[in-house]
Amino acid sequence: MVVEVSEPAPRSAEGEVVLPRLGTPPARRSLVAVEWLGRLSVPLAWGIVVLVFAVLRPTTFPNIGTFGSIFGSQAVLVIVTLGLLVPLRAGDYDLSVAGTLSLSSMIIGRLNGGAGIEIWLTVAIALATGVGVGLVNGFFVRVFGINPFIVTLGMGTLLLGITLLISGDQTYAGVSQGLINVTVVDRFLGIPIEFYYALIVCIGMWYVFEHTTLGRRLLFVGSGREVARLSGIRVERMRVGALVVAGFLAALAGIFFAGTSGAANPTAGASFLLPAFAAAFLGGTTITPGRFNAWGTIIAAYFLVTGVTGLAILGVQSWVQDVFYGGALIVAVALAQLSKGRQSQKIL
């Protein structure tokens, strides 16, 4: 008869039995892989788009001039989108950012280019105007309880009308060369310096969102206002503050727009609203799916800009840009809803 003798279980120095480590189950590994694929979906799509256009136009697309234009000239879109992100994080929409951008740009053109007022004084006036717009939006939302969608839609239309009024429906050139230099002429690594301004705003917003109490409170307000209110968070104050930040950043984007173009066009700001919303919602599906986040937004914005730039190089007609942005917004909102649903399931 053969007697099997089992080996004693391994023990630690303290005499405790050491259990063998088990590997990660295959199903769990698959879920992790799918989750990371979702987090990196937009960056991967961006890389694929760059590769496709580089193959189709090897002599015109993959060069420093094209990428300098993509990263530099579109910093205005990135900044206004980051501004839009703050009220979205709090569960509100701000449709007045395009009007604020237009008015801010026209203040630069009208006062500096037209009247010769010192550029830094006009910049301060433009930024103060953006803050004032946010405060007025917040006033109607807080005091009268009006839906921000309605308030900011009316405000945006009002601001576009005021811009046409003070401009006389004409473009103002002659913006200070100093502003132009620190916006688009000065470069670092071949990229206009305004790209780095947008990057600084993104880093600051990411830090506030992810590493401060203020950012967590803003997320709680957007996730459930009643729960946030019962938790002691001053919900209405947070919402007003979010609208003020959006107005400030939209005004900053308008200043950079005047510096980029060297002039102020009274109707140019309206073209930024649709791309900004598309980038914000598409950014909410990547990096941190289910949440509006800064890094996802900046990646999504440049993904969309790369697509439009590549189509332009291919010689596609200009109407395709509106189709591209409109379709991207629809798809982004749908994906954002799916991501939000998965996030809710994880919380539950």
pLDDT at 346 over 50: no
pLDDT at 96 over 50: yes
Tokens 């569960």 appear where? 91
Domain assignment present for 139: yes
Whether 41 is in a domain gets the answer: no
Does residue 63 lie within any of the structural domains? Answer: no
Q: Is the pLDDT of residue 122 over 50?
A: yes
Domain that holds residue 167: 76-269
CA distance 292 to 301: 13
Pairing outcome for strands 187-188 and 263-264: unpaired
Residue-wise pLDDT tens digits, 227-271? 888 888 899 999 999 999 999 999 999 999 999 888 888 888 888
- Quick check: 32 pLDDT over 60? no
Q: Which pLDDT score, from 0 to 100, does residue 136 have?
A: 96
Cβ–Cβ < 8 Å for 183, 192: yes
pLDDT of residue 9: 52
Helices (H), 57-193: 64-73, 75-89, 97-107, 119-144, 148-167, 177-180
Q: How far apart are CA 277 and CA 88, in angstroms?
A: 10
Highest mean pLDDT, choosing among 47-56, 63-72, 94-103, 185-194: 94-103
Residue 13 located in a structural domain = no
pLDDT band (50, 70, 90) for residue 38: low
In terms of pLDDT, which residue wins out, 174 or 13? 174
In a domain, 322, yes or no: no
Find how far residue 217's CA is from the centre of its chain: 19
- Asked whether residue 331 is domain-assigned, the answer is no
For residues 280 and 20, the model is more confident at 280
pLDDT of residue 28: 57
100: Cα within 13 Å, side-chain hemisphere: 38
Q: Measured between alpha carbons, how far is 289 from 298 in angstroms, rounded to an integer? A: 14
Q: Which residues of 178-192 are buried (b: 16+ CB within 10 A; e: fewer)?
A: ebbebbbeeeeeebb
Average pLDDT over residues 277-296: 86
| Residue with more model confidence, 78 or 346 | 78
Nearest alpha-carbon partner for 224 in 233, 215, 213:
233
Averaged pLDDT for residues 316-325: 72
- Asked whether the beta carbons of 258 and 179 are under 8 A apart, the reply is yes
Interatomic CA distance for residues 172 and 115, integer angstroms: 10
If pLDDT is split at 50, 70 and 90, which confidence band does 25 have? low
- According to the model, what pLDDT value does residue 283 have? 86
Number of domains in the chain: 1
State percent of the chain over pLDDT 90: 36
Residue 348 has pLDDT above 50, yes or no: no
pLDDT computed for residue 303 by the predictor: 86
- Pick the more confident residue, 295 or 35: 295
Nearest Cα neighbor of 341 from 282, 291, 296, 290 is 290
Cα distances (Å, whole numbers) of residue 81 to 90, 195, 242, 245? 15, 14, 13, 12
Written as one letter, the residue type at 216 is R
Contact at 8 Å (CB) between 331 and 41? no
Name the more confident of 16 and 140: 140
Residue 101's nearest CA partner among 134, 72, 71 is 134
Q: What is the mean pLDDT of residues 299-308?
A: 86
Residue 142: strand, helix, or coil: helix
Query: Has residue 1 got a pLDDT over 50?
Result: no
User: Which tokens hold the place of 176?
Assistant: 């200070």
Could you tell me if 109 and 263 are in contact, meaning their C-beta atoms sit under 8 angstroms apart? yes
pLDDT at 102: 93
* pLDDT given at position 347: 36
How close are the terminal C-alpha atoms of the chain, in Å? 57
- Has residue 3 been placed in a domain? no
Cβ 148 vs Cβ 243: under 8 Å: yes
Q: 190: which DSSP letter?
A: T
Query: What pLDDT shows up at residue 116?
Result: 83
Region 72-77 average pLDDT? 84
Say yes or no to pLDDT of 2 above 70.
no
Q: What is the pLDDT of residues 186-224, one digit of tens each?
A: 888 888 889 999 999 999 999 999 999 999 999 999 888
Side-chain-side CA neighbours of 223 within 13 Å: the count stands at: 18
* pLDDT tens readout for residues 52-62: 888 888 887 87
Position with higher pLDDT, 35 vs 98 = 98
Q: What is the mean pLDDT of residues 142-169?
A: 91
